[in-house]
Structure 1
């Protein structure tokens, strides 16, 4: 208010110095200008939906908009210069009202829901007239027009990030010499990087990450970008080498070229970047040794060279990078010892050396620094694990993964001093001795994994002190004693794996108090007694395996236990119940007989006894007759319903709806909603035998968790596959079903089974897919004869094709949810096609228990987080299933195989073989002729990485594809292409 008064006084003072006529003209012009800003903003508001009334202060009767929400004015002229409307959930189109703001310099509409083409002349004009434009995180679409950057005036900063922009970056961008900040990240842009960008000599920040840009990065004139601070080309498809002279942009602070297809060695000019804080080259094909000159980049805080093909030793002077906070060298081929010089990196917080070939002992600095995350898994480290009694990491460490090495000795009792530790993984080593009592001191721990070691003794009662535990894995050790009752204190526990030990005693009833439990495996122990009936209270159970024990008595009735698989309770000879096909001995009351002596002469007593027997016989007869009648009625009702469904389906085809091809998915409703709706996304609409053939069991191709699949033919002779969905009463409304299926129908990729149409009624839903004649991958791996077995090259191409199909689904924001070999089909040319994707979206909600029930056939493929309600299901769930599938293809074995006295978990078996240097023994013996063993072993490693227990440790599918292409021998890959 004070500022406004001052402005008014200045204006009055100026007017008093002018003639009356001039004063009148200026006052009139001033009022018109102020009203022009009000009018422009009100026109803009009229075209905007404002669900939270953030623009309620904007009123057309105001003389000035300078006090309006989000509006900034010049203090002297009172003209609008800035408009900040970020994150208000506004939607609609950007109207021409903003063009009336003649002095607008900054426009920020980020994090809203605005839509429309980016080529809209209004947006183009706004960009030309302003200095700062931020339209990020909206729904703008279309390609960027050339006109946007022609005569672009004084524009300094433009952000169009996180929209839906397509097409190429126009060459005209090079004409905006005043541009300092450009952010076009997270769009759908394609094509190459314009060479004209090197003309932007004022450029400071350039972010094109997360697009589909390709080609080589132009080499010439990059040194002209003297002021460049941020250069981000990550998550694209760039190939070739890094520009040799990138180090000539001496002010660079962040270089991120991660997740591309770049090759070669690191350009030596990088050592000139003494101010660089971030160097991220993750997920490329860089090779060779890590150069010694890397220590010259003194300001580095983040160095990420993971998922490449670097070899050799880590430079001994790497510790000269004393500013380092994050060091990630995982998934390379480094060897030798970790450099001792890193003890000088006092700011180091995160180290990841996993999945290399490092050897030797853990250096003292690992626990001497205040590290937060330590990952040394998947190497060849040896010796005892020594945390040290005064480790600085006790108060800082949150993640410690030492799994899959060759550590020996006992677990130090000081492990309980890690007061902030969230994850402890020391599995798959050669650790001995008992589990330290101090483990209960891990008050913050969510995951403790000590499986696959040689630990003995009992599970300590103190484990209950780790009250935040969600996962406890102690399988494949030599543990004895009983399951401690104190486990009930871990109320968040979702996963309890104690299999393959020597645990005795009864299953404590207190386990029933752990209501979050989803995965329980107590198999291959010596447990006795009966299963507590209270276990039926565990409503979140997905798997409960107590096979190969000495349990007895009746199985619990209710909940999960009504459908528990036989394999989960097998080899407990004294268990009884319908699941194990063994009746339980019961005490049935005998009829009351008043005269136990049949020769007694008392006629009255005899009469009463005979009368009682007649009553008993009558009741039994009534029950038997009633049951027979009930069954007969049930058969009749089911038969009538089936006839009704078939007739109604045939009628629905007869009234057939209008079909259309293309992307419009148009249709016409049938005259009666009872007949349902048939929609084809292709031009084919008529079936040879009528729709009744869809329910013909003779045409059945297979059954899965979501439905039954039938074969049929269209009038033109082309075959299609029809999936009849299970549990129609649980499917969404027709509108929701239509929307979700049409979304799936628009997905097109050579490695995905095409959805061609669908049929809907409230009681029946069908999905119409292209027919793949050569059957599933499961059939080729497990049901074929040795003569027709898949070759190694065929298997590799199937894995690569499956990865590409999944990656495309994830780009389309679709999670498969049910990745397994029966859902990968092989066409006549040997190409892999992923099917059954996105079906979970057809259910009313992504209820995990319902979904897990429908995909129990995918046992062994299910990611562990599927059972945890508090963990978000992401694409990493599919990556886990893909990893298991990779192991299945390489080994020829099923994910879970049941022997007479054993259960073989493929993932565990392969890990054990890899840990002991016997990975080549896992390769499918049906493979004939010469094949590259190194490729097989590399694929085994990739499968295990994808099947990591921790979702964040799994790569995404784009990274998987790049790793696969790296694994493939270049010469053979070239021959395949030619």
Structure 2
């Protein structure tokens, strides 16, 4: 019988020898030897170790208990680190992609691959087909007007859904699509009662057009040129039309970011709804103002409404619209273009600014209250027509003056 701990000699025995250490009052840990894995060591309650028939030693129990804790600790430390690394890689990749996207050249709307449709609240391709059907493939029978950049058609899509469609002139007529794109950019985000609503647009190899709300009374120019229709526009209606145009321009110049100048304000580009409310239309020559730019521009506009300074300078700004508005306001009151009266008007004092010199003979004279408002329009018009653009009022000032009239 042995006593004490297991001798190291047993650990050095050759494989294949059977060892019987049962009931020898052995104590302590069993040496980690392959010879002792299958040894018979029962009856030694004081032995411990990682072999069959004995209990684990105290140190082994602690190690086993600490093992899963270390794994958890490693996971707690590593998972956040891995998350931070992945987030950093994703952020770097996203920033690199955005920078590359900004640097890469992008084609304008009409040059993008495929057809391009945007119709508010509608399926663009379905509306495209409906418009071709409603206008009989843009037949002259549905034409209601012609502008510098396109022909306008009336399209009845449903019994209660009538729209105006401005079809862009074909490229064979050497008309650039920039007017189409300018109008889209200018009108996409505009929401104002005195600016025509743009419902949608389409860029297509066969047809490119814009879809507007349909305004029943048509253009202000067509009404004033008709002796019959002009009689429906008494001076009170005409004053309200002037106020509406002023409000629309004030919104464009002061409430849009960036500000928008129209560059072609004339009676032909002002539409009237069934209540004779004025809406500014035809933004084909509009320009989005860059506040840090000198805004050099080619001459644009309608003869008779263009500011005199554009004959010797190419700088375009919101004061161009102010001048054109002055011409329009006079024309609305007179019922015809003021022509040479513009020059003489600038020299008249308030005492010599008499309505009888400019009133439209096709309509009855106004009441005293309305006459005061008309005189206010004339004074504002004179200020807008100042030959020095720096001395012309802003559209906010014009709108406020007319609202007080």
TM tier relative to shorter chain: 0.5 to 0.7
Once the two structures are TM-superposed, the CA of residue 751 in structure 1 deviates from its matched residue by 0.8
Taking structure 1 as the reference length, the TM-score comes to 0.27
1:267-416 equivalences under 5 Å are none
Q: CA 1:775–1:786 in structure 2 vs 1: closer, same or farther (change >3 Å)?
A: closer
Q: CA deviation at 1:748?
A: 0.9
Distance 1:951 1:787 in 2: 32
Q: Identify if the C-alpha distance between structure 1 residues 754 and 940 changes in structure 2 by more than 3 Å, giving closer, same or farther.
A: same
Check if 1:815 corresponds to 2:258.
no
Which of 107, 118, 122 aligns to 1:679? It is 118
Which residue of structure 2 aligns with residue 864 of structure 1?
Answer: 308
Q: Check 1:743–1:830 CA distance in 2 against 1; reply closer, same or farther (3 A cut).
A: closer
Residue equivalent to 1:922:
358
The residue correspondences of 1:545-584 to structure 2 (distance < 5 A) are none
Measure the CA separation in 1 of the matches of 2:151 and 2:392: 32
Contact 1:752 1:835 in 2 (8 A): yes
Instruction: State the Cα distance separating 1:773 from its structure 2 match.
Output: 0.8
Give the superposed CA RMSD: 3.6
Contact 1:893 1:906 in 2 (8 A): no
Q: Structure 1 residues 697, 919: CA separation in 2 closer, same or farther (over 3 Å shift)?
A: same
Following TM superposition, by how much is the alpha carbon of 1:768 offset from its aligned partner in structure 2, in angstroms?
Answer: 1.2
Higher-Rg structure is: 2
Asked if 2 retains the 8 angstrom alpha-carbon contact of 1:848 and 1:866, the reply is no
* Structure 2: gaps spanning 5 or more residues: 1-87, 100-108, 289-294
> Using a 3 Å threshold, how does the CA distance of structure 1 residues 711 and 859 change in structure 2: closer, same or farther?
same
State the shift of 1:835 in Å.
0.7
Determine if the alignment matches structure 1 residue 888 to structure 2 residue 331: yes
**Does the Cα contact within 8 Å between 1:776 and 1:825 map onto a contact in 2?**
yes
Q: CA deviation at 1:823?
A: 1.0
Aligned residue runs from structure 1 range 836-855, under 5 A: 836-837=282-283, 839-841=285-287, 848-849=297-298, 851-852=299-300, 855=301
Distance across 2 between alignment mates of 1:891 and 1:826: 18
- Does the 8 Å CA contact 1:815/1:837 hold for their aligned counterparts? no
Q: Does the CA contact (< 8 Å) of 2:149 and 2:180 recur in 1?
A: no
CA gap 1:791/1:679 in 2 versus in 1, 3 angstroms: same
**Which one has the bigger helix percentage?**
2
* 1:742 Cα deviation from its structure 2 partner: 4.8
Match of 2:199 among 756, 762, 765: 756
- State the SS of the aligned residue for 1:693: coil
8 A Cα contact 2:335 2:360, kept in partner = yes
Q: For 1:243-254, what aligned pairs fall within 5 Å after superposition?
A: none
As a proportion of its length, which structure holds more strand?
Answer: 1
**How far apart, CA to CA, are the structure 2 residues paired with 1:882 and 1:797?**
14
Tell me, yes or no, if the aligned pair for 1:725 and 1:766 is still in contact at 8 Å.
yes
Distance 1:827-1:766 versus aligned 2 partners, 3 A rule: same
Within the candidate set 270, 275, 278, 1:824 is matched to 270
Alpha-carbon distance in 2 for matches of 1:912, 1:961: 23
Structure with the bigger RCO (C-alpha within 8 Å, sep 6+) is 2
- 1:680 shift after superposition: 0.8
User: Match for 1:946 among 379, 384, 389?
Assistant: 384
1:739 deviation in Å? Answer: 8.6
1:918/1:815 CA distance change after superposition, 3 Å:
closer
User: Given the two structures, how large is their TM-score scaled by the length of structure 2?
Assistant: 0.61
- Give the C-alpha shift of residue 937 in structure 1: 2.4
For the pair 1:731 / 2:176, whether they are aligned, the reply is yes
Q: Is the 8 A contact 1:860 1:895 kept in 2?
A: no
1:606 matched to which residue of 2?
Answer: none
Aligned pairs for 1:608-687 within 5 A? 673=114, 676-683=115-122, 685-686=126-127, 687=130
Asked whether the equivalents of residues 848 and 867 of structure 1 are also in contact (C-alpha less than 8 Å), the reply is no
Indicate how the Cα distance of structure 1 residues 763 and 962 shifts in structure 2: closer, same or farther if over 3 A, else same. Answer: same
